[in-house]
A and B are shown apart, each in its own frame.
Chain A
Amino acid sequence: MRHGTFLAFVAPSLIAMIALIVFPVISVVVQSFHAQHEQVIEIVESCGPFGCSETTAVNQEATQALREAEPLGRFVGWDNYVNRGHLAFAEMAEAWSSSETWGEWWSKVMNLPFYGAIVFTLTFTFIVTPLTIALGFAIAVAVNSATRAIRGPLIFISLLPFIINPIVGSLVLFWMVDARGILGQAIQWLASDPDLSVKASTPMMWIMLMVYGVWHSAPFAFVVFYAGLQTVNQDTNEAAMIDGANRWQRVRYVTIPHIMPLVTFVALIQLMDNFRVFEPLISFSAEAHAQSLSTYILSDLTGETVLFNSAAATSMLTVVCVGILLSPVLVRTWRDFKRA
């Protein structure tokens, strides 16, 4: 295809992506290096019966005018990245030198909002992804062993948790584990503690969020693996059987190698999706117990004072993390492309 024709065909898509993905990223980068103008401080001389004294006061009007004239604020370099809300170098150094045990140091680190968010996000990503793959594979095997006639309805029901909106899906679950909900009461009964509440306990909240994560994405893994199981080469399978391979060996040496590329694919998509975990934390009103990178940005953008610059710095750090997470895939895709 000629260059000109190619450009004509991709133009609408390209323009949309440049205007609303590339430019916002640039806007985020610029914002992350700026901070709102400080308040305009004036020295006011006030004279009373006992002589004059100089006091400092905030000139609200001038501050307002300056902030409106230059909404971007002033250039502050890397300040936004190293302040307490983000990488917090000073606090980290302090925590390191003042802590005597690892536990003490860890609890100090977890109190820093950015580190708390990244620890939760990474924990969520790396626990939910393998569990999703395992559960998805198990469902695929189970559905595959069912009678052909009922597989359609089985797939229909299995798809529900995945297709339903994440806010809605997590709300439905949240209502059930509420202290007055059916699952919440079941948990209280099992633990024989009538005051146990998921909302009040950090570990319970983390577990619930991860249970939701697995429940929500397992259907995706299931559908992909199920499609893979349909195309396992039956000749190879039969040949292995004739060679005396038992059931387990056939699964190990025929089915698993066939499924492996799909596992990589599901893992990649799941890593990307779990890393941006967002909606369940909102539905579960989890902010007191768990904060992900996405909800941390949201809380900066919707707080009493909107902190654009802080949100921008977090966004940049998040994008960098996504880049690191994706780098093995990108390198591999590039190699495949060169080979082809």
Chain B
Amino acid sequence: MSHAPTHRRLPGYLQALLTTFLVVWLIMAAVPFLWTLWGSFKVEGDFFSKADWTNALTGELTITETGGAFTGQGYYGAWVQEEFWRAVMNSAIVCFFVVTISLTCSTLAGYALSRSTYNYAFWFLIAALIFRAMPPITLVSGYLLPFFEWNLWGHLSTTIIVLVAINQPFSLWMMTSFFRNIPKDLDESAMVDGCNRIQAFRHVILPVMWPGVITTGLFSFLLAYNDFAVTALLLEKDNQTMIPKIASFLGTTQTKGNVMFAVAAVISATAPLFVLILFFQRQIVSGLTAGAVKG
């Protein structure tokens, strides 16, 4: 878009208003995370300071208790004492397999849905939309009894498959809308040249579909990484992923008086997402708007 910016210049008072608003919003968006990051290197008495809120910045008690203004106690407690690293490993395994399996399924299905002109393709997508709207916890209440009976409960593999299925509706919509943007002529001309559908997909579509796959993959990753309802209820204590682990810290550490473990774990779980946005901001934005622009 190369319209002249002069047309869009706002009057001074309006610009000032918008800038003020923007600054307020940025503070709202960023400060809670910065505050917690800073506080994660303090002791509890500073992070939750009844005496003086500036203690959380200067770390009065942290200095008296540990000798330095910053302490890694929270991180040590979370990662070593409470074995948060196990949860991190489990999360990594779950995310990797969910993204791989989910992308394979939804790429194939999304391609077929974008190319089919029959009514059932439409109904397929509508069913997916309804599934997307259902709270995952309602499905979990359906899993528990059969899973207990068939001894499927508590395994990482079960959770992975469940997350793949819950992920499907959203990924399908996204992949379908991406494939609709790849002209039909491309694969149809390949088929005129003698390819069958699978060959056309492999040789013509596969090389050009990666932007869509990456964006959909990002959102599958976010879903698997952020899930709480499924992982909290389908996994045992010793193979928990990060988010249920953090939630369980709240139960155990509050009583032990060591809420700082949870604070450190929260920061540890947030850091990868921070890096993710840093590198994939463009894809995330395009993914969020993909559904909107194409209806």
A→B interface (CB under 8 Å): 1-3, 5-6, 9-10, 12-14, 16-17, 19-21, 23-28, 31, 71-72, 138-139, 141-143, 145-146, 152, 154-161, 163-169, 171-173, 175-176, 178-182, 185, 215, 219-220, 223-224, 227-228, 230, 234, 237-238, 241, 247, 261-262, 265-266, 269, 272, 275-276, 278-279, 282-283, 285, 293-294, 297-298, 300-302, 306, 308, 311-312, 314-316, 318-319, 322-323, 325-326, 329-330, 333-334, 336-337
Asked if B172 and A175 sit within 8 Å, CB to CB, the answer is no
A180→B285 CA distance, assembly (Å)? 37
Residues of A near B226 (CB, < 8 A) are 165-167
Asked if B21 and A142 sit within 8 Å, CB to CB, the answer is yes
A301→B162 CA distance, assembly (Å)? 18
Residues of A near B78 (CB, < 8 A) are none
User: Main SS of the interface on chain A?
Assistant: helix
A293→B138 CA distance, assembly (Å)? 9
Residue from the list B11, B22, B106, B291 in contact with A13, Cβ < 8 A: B106
A283→B4 CA distance, assembly (Å)? 48
**Is residue B128 contacting chain A, with contact meaning CB distance below 8 A?**
yes
Asked if B284 and A312 sit within 8 Å, CB to CB, the answer is no
Closest to A311 in B: B141
Known: A167-B247, A326-B133. A175 touches B270 (CB 8 A): no
Q: How far is the CB of A337 from the nearest CB of chain B, in Å?
A: 5
Residue from the list A2, A156, A219 in contact with B278, Cβ < 8 A: A156
Asked if B228 and A167 sit within 8 Å, CB to CB, the answer is yes
Known: A24-B139, A318-B138. A175 touches B273 (CB 8 A): no
Residues of A near B108 (CB, < 8 A) are 9-10, 12-13
Asked if A16 and B165 sit within 8 Å, CB to CB, the answer is yes
- Give the number of residue pairs across the A-B interface with Cβ within 8 Å: 287
Within 8 A of A (CB), among B11-49: 11, 15, 18-19, 21-22, 25-26, 28-30, 32-33, 35-36, 39, 47-49
B→A interface (CB under 8 Å): 1, 3, 7-8, 10-11, 15, 18-19, 21-22, 25-26, 28-30, 32-33, 35-36, 39, 47-50, 53, 56, 104-106, 108-109, 111-113, 115-118, 121-122, 124, 126-146, 148-149, 161-162, 164-166, 168-169, 172, 197, 222, 225-226, 228-229, 233, 243, 246-247, 250, 259, 262-263, 266, 269-270, 273-274, 276-278, 281, 284-285, 288-289, 291-293, 295
A237→B29 CA distance, assembly (Å)? 32
Closest to A16 in B: B165
A136→B183 CA distance, assembly (Å)? 33
